[in-house]
Structure 1
Amino acid sequence: MTTTIESLLDLDSLLTPEDLELRTMVRQFGEQRLRPNVTEWFEAGEVPVRDLAVEIGKLGLLGMHLEGYGCSGSSATAYGLVCEELEAVDSGLRSLVSVQGSLAMFAIHRWGSEEQREQWLPGMAAGEVIGCFGLTEPDFGSNPGGMRTTARRDGSDWILNGSKMWITNASIADVAIVWARAEEGVVGFAVPTTTPGFSAREMTHKMSLRASVTAEFSLDDVRVPDDAKLPGARGLSGPLACLNEARFGIVFGSVGAARDCLEATLDYVGTREVFDKPLSGYQLTQAKIADMAVELAKAQLLALHLGRLKDQGTIKPEQVSVGKLNNVREAIKIARQCRTLLGANGITLEYPVIRHANNLESVLTYEGTSEVHQLVIGEALTGVSAFR
């Protein structure tokens, strides 16, 4: 009997029956609803985000790790497993859930007022209201502290000016979480995108995350009332806490992309004949397969360990950085190696490998580049910040 990737280390024995049931449900949704269409969405650079958000909302996956307001309050591990299954189909689809739940909804849930939570979260959990998270700017990505977007008091209102770039779903969002610099430091706002002065345009010509909407938005004297401000957010710790939530999902999600690449490759090498025997029968092929399977299993174990730590409430930012740095780095290596085993077929969308590889180029960069996470880990180990 052939051992599968998932049975190699019997990792399912580390999951609860509830975790396994949830994973099966999301995997079936991916196979039946998403996978038959994702190649077309990727090639066209168009994805029906609003329709998908409602469908995913009905499954209870949007903001699932949050408590109340239509959110199920699931474990962090369960949320991670959902991210893994969605990214096994496509990173862009995991990004939809991650940005909605771990960035936009989390910002309101953690830093918002009770009125803001009641106003926005139930609709967002249902997928009927789309959110985006505006932190990155054209000149400030890894260094968000240098942001130029400003918030100025004007009587009982605030006036926002600036621009944000590489923002998932900004051109279709109903509410934008906007981080800006004010006299008292960095502050956050929940801004309805219908507010005069708010404009967004989709960014095209992407070769990665094509099954995801990426946009930039501008704030031209956008006037919002004081109750649009997120009262609990003080300084950069506000947006950085949100980023840590999103990074956690990537720790699991990247494993899904790598797993899908390896599963597709195992199927391919078992049927592709080279010099009159299956490609899988060659020592060089088996060496590559074995090395990739070992790295994938290690990444899965790391993700599960971090999930347990997060469920215990003891996880630290540098631990999330370890997971994001390692798992994405290994996932993209696996995708590239799988591409070599598929030969010329590896560059076509008939197989998922080149699509995952292209997507992982973005995943490697967003929510903190590899270099940023290396410095986070380095500072934790040495006690010395090397960011400047």
Structure 2
Amino acid sequence: MSETTGIDELLMRQRLLVAIGPGGVGKTTVSAAIALRAAELGRRTLVLTIDPAKRLADALGLTELEDRIRAVPTDELRKRGVEVKGELYAAMFDNAASMDSLMKRVAPDAETRDKVLRNRVYRAMAGTLARSHAYLAMERLHQVMNSGRYDLVILDTPPARNALDILDAPSRLATFLEEGVVKWFVPNKGRGLRARLMQGSGAAATKLFEVVVGKELASETIAFFEAFYSMREGFHTRASAIQGMLRARDTSFVLVSSADATHLADAEALAAGIKARGVRIDVAVFNRAYERLTHADPLAIVSSAGVLDSPTTIRLLFSDELHRSERDTMTALLTSLHMVRTQAAASNQRALDSIRKLSQLLPSDALGLIIARLDGDIRDLPGLHALGPYLAATRSLHTT
């Protein structure tokens, strides 16, 4: 991983950043911090989360967050002298709301649209359609990306391997529309001997279905699948567009992890899954990865400056002003502090070694960002702004 100039250049160049990573590493917080930094740089930025943990509202200092896109007030930052040149927006993906919106967009005509939206079976399935969450999230992303309202969109995905669904879901739904249960309910589609055989099987299955659930519900179910099937061309077209969008040159994937061994193992598996799907990771963010050793240089992971021994330190600070008992007490205290700092430095070095090991699996020109452990949880914009220096820092994972 080569040395580079922080994330700012990327934020000014790209249109979409997709944040992926294990659960419990602060991925949503990092996504919000990146979005805020982009807004500070002057970009009109939207951060959209499909992480069901719903932490984005807290991270942005909002009382709640919903599928409707909301502007994030930045007055508190301005009061503190922080200039926000652009605009910041946020939304949390909602399955049911996005499903309705999708049906309205994909329906070939108003009659089909209304038939689906009023259907009882659809209404029951809207929020829980099998494996639909990732696909609907991608549809929502497609919508905001094509709205022309935002310079940059930051997508916060679900934890760990669930994030791979965002790459698989479009083709999976297209397959679902062409085979399996859907065709049992639309037996009149297609021509030829195979289609006629399927028609007979489908008719028998339909009759049995009517006996089991009742004719009225069976009729609504068949009507729903017939209308749904009629939309397949629209789904195919949009699925192809979504796949192209995720692999476009102005899209970057951001891998977020901590330096913990378990998280790094999950991040490694996720990176392998992403690579197998033909997508590269442009940024790796290692959050809460080290203890800050000095206030003077919080970006220092392993300080090269030696710590003076206790007697020397006491002589420099106090000359001969201390009595013997005071000197012994102070010596013991400084010795303990020296030990704590030495242990922290050793822990930081082990974390850095682990980070470097994972980094070897990423593209050589991928950007590496390392964030220290900060005090307390980040629950407002000033807290997110405090991550800015770590995002902008030049880091090399090959030197200390």
Q: Do these two structures clear the TM 0.5 threshold for a shared fold by scoring above it?
A: no
Which is richer in strand?
A: 1
Taking structure 2 as the reference length, what is the TM-score of the superposition? 0.29
Highest Rg: 1 or 2?
Answer: 2
Taking structure 1 as the reference length, what is the TM-score of the superposition? 0.30
